[in-house]
């Protein structure tokens, strides 16, 4: 079984956009929404959706920290594989089947999916291109449908409870632990960050924050510079 884990905080306006497409996903899976003490209707919406969801759907409550939320969900998950999705991702019907097929090779420990940013302007095409040219170098993020075998996740100690870059930090350890793969068909990712902040500020923040983190600047300091894209949400 694949456990799909979705960290959320104040996602009342978007949580159904990731849950509804999962109804069309084929394979053996469960869904856990790891809520970080939302102050809007996120938890209520998830509970309502669970009543008519074709697969097991559960709400996991946590303090507000994306890494801690995901770690807590893995503790309650039943699957032998963890697939982490952001609340602004549309997963294709083949998602679980693709993960299962890739892991039939015992040398594969995890990986991610190709992504396509929503929209038809040069901006979305540029960001889609950026992600694709960086992936062969093992550079990707949690917004690309990262997945990992349960035993590997536990051996690596899960996500570090830092306020930002927790996905990137874990992926660096994952890439050093064994073979990973990048799967198709791609996932569709919302363009909401640069619609809210603008293209250049978004690009600058991504490059600048990753550079500073790689140079050893603590994530707690970097979190102050990573602007939220939703009301009340920080860099969880």
Give residue 236's pLDDT: 35
Residue 213 within any structural domain of the chain: no
Question: Which CATH number goes with the domain that contains 128?
Answer: 3.90.550.10
Q: Model-level pTM?
A: 0.88
CB 12 within 8 A of CB 42: yes
In total, how many domains does the chain have? Answer: 1
The DSSP symbol for 105 reads S
The DSSP symbol for 27 reads S
Q: What is the pLDDT of residues 139-180, one digit of tens each?
A: 898 889 999 999 999 999 999 999 888 999 999 999 999 999
Q: What is the pLDDT of residues 102-142, one digit of tens each?
A: 999 999 999 999 999 887 788 778 888 888 998 999 989 88
Give residue 1's pLDDT: 97
Residue 199 within any structural domain of the chain: no
For the segment 214-228, the average pLDDT, to the nearest whole number, is 65
Q: Who's near 174: CB < 8 A, 6+ residues apart?
A: 109, 110, 146, 148, 152, 156, 180
Buried b (16+ CB within 10 A) or exposed e, 5-29: bbbbbbbbebbeebbebbeebebeb
To the nearest 10°, report the CA torsion of 161, 163, 168, 171: 10
Residue 209 within any structural domain of the chain: no
Residue 204 within any structural domain of the chain: no
Residue-range definition of the domain harbouring residue 62: 2-193
Alpha-carbon distance of 213 to 216, in angstroms, equals 5
Residue 21 within any structural domain of the chain: yes
């Amino acid at each position: 079984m694949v456990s799909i884990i979705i960290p959320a905080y104040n996602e009342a306006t978007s949580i159904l956009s990731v849950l509804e497409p999962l109804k069309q996903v084929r394979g053996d899976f469960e869904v856990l929404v790891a809520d970080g003490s939302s102050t809007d209707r996120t938890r209520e919406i998830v509970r309502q959706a669970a009543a008519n969801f074709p697969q097991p759907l559960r709400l996991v409550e946590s303090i507000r920290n994306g890494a801690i939320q995901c770690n807590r969900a893995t503790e309650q998950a039943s699957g032998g594989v963890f697939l982490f999705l952001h609340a602004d991702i549309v997963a294709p019907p083949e998602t679980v089947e693709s993960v299962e097929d890739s892991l039939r090779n015992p040398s594969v420990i995890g990986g991610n999916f190709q992504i396509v940013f929503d929209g038809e302007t040069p901006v979305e095409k540029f960001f889609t291109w950026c992600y694709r040219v960086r992936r062969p170098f093992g550079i990707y993020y949690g917004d690309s449908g990262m997945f990992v075998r349960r035993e590997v996740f536990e051996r690596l100690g899960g996500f570090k409870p830092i306020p930002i870059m927790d996905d990137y930090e874990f992926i660096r350890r994952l890439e050093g632990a064994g073979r990973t793969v990048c799967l198709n068909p791609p996932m569709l990712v919302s363009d909401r960050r640069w619609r809210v902040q603008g293209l250049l500020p978004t690009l600058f923040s991504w490059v600048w924050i990753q550079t500073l983190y790689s140079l050893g600047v603590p994530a707690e300091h970097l979190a102050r510079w990573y602007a939220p894209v939703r009301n009340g949400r920080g860099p969880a």
